[in-house]
Structure formats: C-alpha cells, structure tokens
Structure 1
Amino acid sequence: MNFNNGSPTIVVLKEGTDKSQGKAQIISNINACLSIQDILKPTLGPLGSDILLSDQTNKTIITNDGATILKSLDIVHPACQILVDISKSQDMEIGDGTTTVTLLACELMKESKQFLEEGINSNLIMKSYNMALKKAIELIKSDLSVKIDTSNENEEALRDLLEKCAKTAMSSKLINSNSKFFVNMCVDAILTLDRQHLDLNNVGIKKVSGGSMEDSLFVKGVAFAKTFSYAGFEQQPKYFTNPKILSLNLELELKAERDNAEVRIEKVEEYQKIVDAEWKLIHDKLELIKNTGANIILSKLPIGDLATQYFADNGIFCSGRVDPEDLNRVIKAVGGSIQTSVSDLKPEHLGTCGIFEEKQIGNERYNLFTECSNTKTCTLVLRGGANQVIEEVARSLNDALMIVKRSLQLNSIVIGGGAIEMAISKRLRDYAKTIKGKQQLMINAFAKALEIIPRQLCENAGLDSVELLNKLRMSHSVNQGKDNAFVGINFQIENIANNFESFIWEPMSNKINSLQSATEACNLILSIDETITNKQQGDEGGNIQGIRGQGMGM
C-alpha cells in the first residue's frame, strides 16, 4: 500500500492490503454488529423461539441461550467478536441475561449511528454513554432495587424467595413447562452448599438418556456412573449402610510393580522369586487396605482384576478410574482424604456416609453416596428423550443455579418483564433535562435504547408492542415513588402489571452487569476508527493485521 501526502511515494504495506478508516469504518462495524442482533432478537423472553444450530459434523444444538448461540456461530468479523466476549462474560459472571446484554449493546450502537452520521465525534458519544451508565447504576442501587431477607432465621421464607428468582430465570427456557419441578431441584442444590462460598463446582451434573425430564433426580450427596470394572466385580456387595470409605490415588495392578525395572537372572528359580515378590507386594497392599476396615475403595487410577477379585472375596466394593472431580466431591461429602500410599493408613483418612448403593438409572448403573453427615455437595442426574434436550436442560439449570446463587449472595432484586428498563429510561430522560449541550441528546438516546427489551418481549409474544410500550411509558410517568419501577409486561394477562406482585424477579447484579458490559462493548466499537486487512495468498477473506482505536488506548 502506498501513502502519498504530496511527497514521494513510500511503500509501507504489501500490495493488496486493504485499509479502512474514519467515520465510515465505525458505521461499518456497527452494521456488522446489528446483523448479530437480528439473529438473537427472536430468542428473547419467555415466549422467544429456539435456534437450531448444525455444524459440519451434523452435530445439532437447539437452544435460545445467547452465549451458546454466539459461541456456536462461526463469527469472523473482528468487531462482532466483542459481542461474543461480553455474552461469555455475562454467562460466567451471572449465568442469565446473555441475550439481553447483546441486544442492549447493539441497540446502543444503533442509537449512536445517527450522531456519527451528523458529524458528532465518537468520543463525545462515549462520554455521554458513560454518564448515563453511571446514573443508571446509581438509580438501580438507590431507588429501583428491593432488598430481600436471606438470613438463616426463616428457611421457609428464604426458600420461597429463591424459588421465585429461579422461576423467572427458567421462564424463557425449554424447562419452563416443568419449572415447578426444576425450581425445587435448583433451590435444593444451592441450599445444600456451604452458605459462605456457594461453590457451584460442588454441584455435579450427570446426563442419562431416556425417560422424561421429570425423571431427573436430585441426589443430596454424590452420584457417578459405574466405572470400568474387571471380572469379579459382580460378586462384590452393592449396598452398604454406614460404610467406611477409602479414597486412593494409587494403582492396584500387577503391572505397576514391574514398570521401568530391569532385572538380570541366571537361573529359572530366580525368575520365580521375582514373580512371587511381585505378587507379595500387591497382596501386602491389599491386606493393608482390608485391615483398615474399609467397605468401599475408590481410586483415581485403575484397580486390576486381581485386586477386584480379592475385594469381592472379602466383601468390599471397589471402583477404579473414578473421575477426579467426582472423587473430590466424594471427599467433601463423606470426609477423609485421598491417599497416595497404603503404608500409613489411619482411621481419620477414611470417610463415611449413611447409605451407599449401586442403582440402575436408565441404561446406566450409578454409584450413589447419600445421607452424608457433612454434605456440602449434591448431584443432579438429568434425564430426557434426546441428547439435545438433556444438553439444553443442563444449560438452563446452570443459568438458574447462577441466578439463585447471586440472589442469595447480594440480597437485592429488581423487577423483570421490562419493568426495570422502563424505570431507568424514564429517570434518565428526566436526568437529561438537567444536562446542557449535545450530551442531553445522547443520554436520551441511551434511555431510548433500553426500550429494546420490553419492545422485543412483546414482539416475540405476538403482542402489540406499540400499544403496550405507550401504556408502560404512561404508567412510569404518572405513578410516582418506588412502585412505578414495578410495572412491566406480564405475559399471563398479556398486558402491563405490577411484576413485583407477580414475582417476576431478577438479581440486581444481573441488570448492573448487563448495562456495564453492553456500554463497554458499545464504547469499544465506537473507539475503533481504522481497520487494516492483509489479504494473504489463498486467503479471500483476509486476516486482520491491525485495529487502531481512539480515546480508549486501542
């Protein structure tokens, strides 16, 4: 590429390099992002539709989860990748609201487009959006959120609150029709965990094909599928009450004793001594394990046929090649610790539970540890007629678990159904009247962009969005005080209503994170004013070599 500013031509970039910059490039990036918005719009809300995604291997995904859709799409445009990142961030931090954050970011860009076309500098738009964001978060924390009591004094009241938050999170998912069943399962899982940490890694999710969704099981303890086993396994007992459980990171096989060993012998009798020594070594290990009084032996590493038969003869259950995550959750449930040697086993190294059993679930056999004394972990065994259904149930439950967790941690909720967006919009318009200059227009544009959520909820439900939005604006303008933040779209009556009384609740952190991520993504797109594409040999689309930004250190 040649750069010529009246001086002799200087070649800096190779021939074929495409260089785009200025206002036209920003608008081009915005248009690319708006195409992503068109894909996600129909999936928003409880009556949103699902999207079927298929890849080159004919693997199909049916979902309406924004993060899953964006992750599965083969998006090559560099600006659109920012939308993928904010949806992933929302999914990891909050769990729900992945579609909302993407739609908000795109709508903010759409509103800024008119200002760019009129010649307003993008830095001024970014500054105005940051002012509006700061005011919106301040409004949510001070006026538009509701404190809920999550103390331990009244477990029934706490459970009722968490169930309402979980039900709202499930309203737009595949499991909505079975929400009562899964809400109980979700809240049971969260209340099982340590209230101080609420680590969702302690909630195991297992998937078993077959049956209906309501055949799914909540196990207050640990459950994992039967591991690979050798002959003699079927002779082992499959049910214990108050068993002693020994967890190992040790291989119990003959071959383990001759690995990396070299022995030189001169007589046949010496070879027999070596074989006898190998057998003695493993027998001594098995004898030490039996002497601990353990009834159940679990190991991350294989347990061979000799050890399996030995344990069967002594009425001991064993399971080798247990997944490390499952074994760690077993330790948290039953106590004890994982041992790498059997030479110094003590009673405190063993754990115990109320009941252990091997149970048939669908076409698979599962090992279940229940009635544990210090249970801080649980397992959800999900069932369904098709793998795609089970995968979507797992994604939906993960979102609901995250929402319940955040509600329990932060003790504050906002009202769903577009109520919080309309309340912020109304107050931002009032705030804009106190601002002088062009920034007043841009804060109004920010307020207008928030209306995309209630508008799209109505359109996806087949309702008259113009009529209902006018009703919402009127209600939020006429009603004064905190109650006007509660009026939103209620799909049960297909009209506006007080959604606080209808228990359409969301965690406050959900909305704050959505607004922050959407505004940051919009400002990042507005800050990019130059894209350089180097078309390499055999590359029709080109590879992005550089993106220059302004005002944000790009």
Structure 2
Amino acid sequence: MVAAERRSVDERVCADNDSNFAVINQKGIDPPSLDLLARAGIIALRRAKRRNMERLVLACGGEAVNSVDDLTPDYLGWAGLVNEHILGEEKYTFVENVKNPHSCTILIKGPNDHTIAQIKDAVRDGLRAVKNTIEDKAIVLGAGAFEVAARQYLVNEVKKTVKGRAQLGVEAFADALLVVPKILAENSGLDTQDVIIELMGEHDKGNVVGLNLHTGEPIDPQMEGIFDNYSVKRQLINSGPVIASQLLLVDKVIRASRNMRKPS
C-alpha cells in the first residue's frame, strides 16, 4: 500500500518541464515530492496562507485549483521572477514582474515593533488618502488655506444674509474654523496671532494662501502640492456642530437635574 501510494504521488508530480514553473500549495507537500519537483526545475512552496493565495491570483492571474486533475495551462498565472530572500531569521518568497497586477504586498522593515507600527500607519494613511481622492474626484487646498478662506467667506458674505442672533452663530462658526491654522502654527513653534493676521490679510487681498510651517510665511498650497481630502474635510465640518450641540445638550440636562433637586 505504501509503494502504491508513493507511485501514485510520483505520477502526479513527475512531468516534462520545458518552462519555469512555481507550484504554491495551501496544504503540505512531502519531501520526496519536493525533491522530484526540484529535479524538474519546479519551485514548490507549501503551507501558503489563504489570503496570500487570493492575492497571488490577483497579482499573477490564473486560478487556484483543488486538484491536479483539473490543472490545465488556462489556469496558470504568470510572473517574471520568483525568488527567495532571507531577511533576518525569516525566509520570504518574492513574486515580481507580473504583467497585470491588481494586488501587491509592501514589506516593512524596522528596528523595533514601534517603528514598524508607525510606518504601517503612515502607509495606510497614504493609501486611504489616494483612495478618497480617486472616489471624490476632488481635493481641497491644505496648509490651513481652506479654513481661512471659509472663515473670510462666512464673515464677509454669509453673515450679511442672516439677521439677529444668527449672525453671532455664523461668526462663532467662522472663528472656530481658524483652529486648524492655529494648531499648525503652535506645533511649528510660531506666533499664532501674527500668523493668523498675516494669512487673513492675504485672503482679504484675494490670495488663497496657506501656512509654511518652516518659515511661518504664507505660501500657495497648490504650487507646493499640499492638499486635503474633500470627504475628510466635509466630515469634519459636519461632525463639529453635531458634537458641540451634544455637549451643550449634556450641560442643559445637568443643569435641569440640579434645579430639580432644589426644594421649592
């Protein structure tokens, strides 16, 4: 029975190889079969993770099959280079130079876990920013330029269209938008008041400018390539008044409960 099983496996493994092949399997491959494949010039990788198999299909094309009986040239993917690197104490197999990739892997290296986590967060933020830009098909000027321009528009245009206490609300909302350039200036060690006055002066002249964190001077964000995501900025503007309203509502509830405790 052992000999018959060995013969059956060998028949599946052995084949004439005129091209370079790589076999990647989610399950195990016994050492004799690995040896036979290696003699035929076929790289065999075993115990691959399912998510890696799914990414390989997106990167290289082809399809994953459950049986060698179903294996035909139509199911094969293509890659220009498959090689193995030893990084530290771990072995990594790189599949490179694919023709039409829809997936890729970014290998992050660092001296400690904290550094790797920081790099990973930065990569994720960058990818999400690109994704938002593609979906929104729009961007907003960064470096605090949008907030100062919005503040000027609210004070000079919108405030004139309302009457009574609503004007105070518009003015308060407009001043709240200046928090972003103020924080940028504080984090850069700049004088907040001087920066805001200079930015507002430029906007009054019709120049939509932002803050240079190195020099504290106004800059053109578009020329410097500084932009923010439209969807993120919209969400912040929408959620800000909602959060403020909820906090005020909590204060009213606390005051009401205190008044109810007082004796009549």
Q: TM-score, normalised by structure 2?
A: 0.83
Compute the displacement of 1:502 (Å): 2.4
Partner of residue 116 from structure 2, selected from 382, 385, 390? 390
Partner of 2:82: helix, strand, or coil? strand
Partner of 2:84: helix, strand, or coil? strand
Q: Distance in 1 between matches of 2:159 and 2:143?
A: 25
Write the deviation string for residues 126-145 of structure 1: whole angstroms up to 9, x where unpaired: xxxxxxxxxxxxxxxxxxxx
Partner of residue 436 from structure 1, selected from 157, 163, 182? 163
Report which of the two has the higher share of helix: 2
Partner of 2:259: none
Compute the displacement of 1:420 (Å): 0.6
Q: Is the aligned partner of 1:416 residue 2:138?
A: no
Partner of 2:200: 473
Partner of residue 98 from structure 2, selected from 344, 349, 372? 372
Partner of 1:498: 220
Q: Is the aligned partner of 1:309 residue 2:31?
A: no
What code does the residue aligned with 2:211 have? I
Q: Distance in 1 between matches of 2:117 and 2:48?
A: 23
Preserved CA contact (<8 Å) 1:352 1:372: yes
Q: Is the aligned partner of 1:406 residue 2:132?
A: yes
Partner of 1:317: helix, strand, or coil? strand
What code does the residue aligned with 1:396 have? A
Q: Distance in 2 between matches of 1:455 and 1:415?
A: 16
Partner of 1:296: helix, strand, or coil? strand
Q: Give the RMSD, CA atoms, in angstroms.
A: 2.5
The 1:441/1:290 distance shift into structure 2, 3 A limit, reads: farther
Preserved CA contact (<8 Å) 2:24 2:44: yes
Partner of 1:145: none
Q: Is the aligned partner of 1:361 residue 2:87?
A: yes
Q: Distance in 1 between matches of 2:162 and 2:105?
A: 54
What code does the residue aligned with 1:377 have? S
Q: Distance in 1 between matches of 2:75 and 2:13?
A: 12
What code does the residue aligned with 2:30 have? G
Write the deviation string for residues 100-147 of structure 1: whole angstroms up to 9, x where unpaired: xxxxxxxxxxxxxxxxxxxxxxxxxxxxxxxxxxxxxxxxxxxxxxxx
Partner of residue 284 from structure 1, selected from 3, 8, 14? 8
Partner of 2:109: helix, strand, or coil? strand
Partner of 1:352: helix, strand, or coil? coil
Q: Is the aligned partner of 1:299 residue 2:25?
A: yes
Partner of 1:516: helix, strand, or coil? helix
* Unaligned 5+ runs, structure 2: 255-264
Q: Distance in 1 between matches of 2:199 and 2:32?
A: 73
The 1:341/1:530 distance shift into structure 2, 3 A limit, reads: farther
Partner of 1:464: 191
Partner of 1:100: none
Q: Which has the higher contact order (CA 8 A, sep 6+)?
A: 1
Partner of 2:261: none
Q: TM-score, normalised by structure 1?
A: 0.42
What code does the residue aligned with 2:94 have? L
User: 1:84-163 residue pairs with structure 2 within 5 A?
Assistant: none
Compute the displacement of 1:301 (Å): 2.3
What code does the residue aligned with 1:475 have? E
Partner of 1:514: 236
Write the deviation string for residues 296-317 of structure 1: whole angstroms up to 9, x where unpaired: 1112223333433343344322
Partner of 2:153: 427
Compute the displacement of 1:463 (Å): 0.5
Q: Distance in 2 between matches of 1:307 and 1:519?
A: 66
Partner of 1:379: helix, strand, or coil? coil
Report which of the two has the higher share of strand: 1
Compute the displacement of 1:346 (Å): 1.5
What code does the residue aligned with 2:8 have? D
Partner of 1:6: none
Q: Distance in 2 between matches of 1:520 and 1:300?
A: 50
Query: Could you tell me the percent identity over the aligned residues?
Result: 28
Q: Distance in 2 between matches of 1:462 and 1:341?
A: 65
Preserved CA contact (<8 Å) 1:292 1:347: no
Partner of 2:28: helix, strand, or coil? coil
Partner of 1:447: 174
Partner of residue 351 from structure 1, selected from 77, 83, 86? 77
What code does the residue aligned with 2:29 have? I
Preserved CA contact (<8 Å) 1:292 1:346: no
What code does the residue aligned with 1:465 have? T
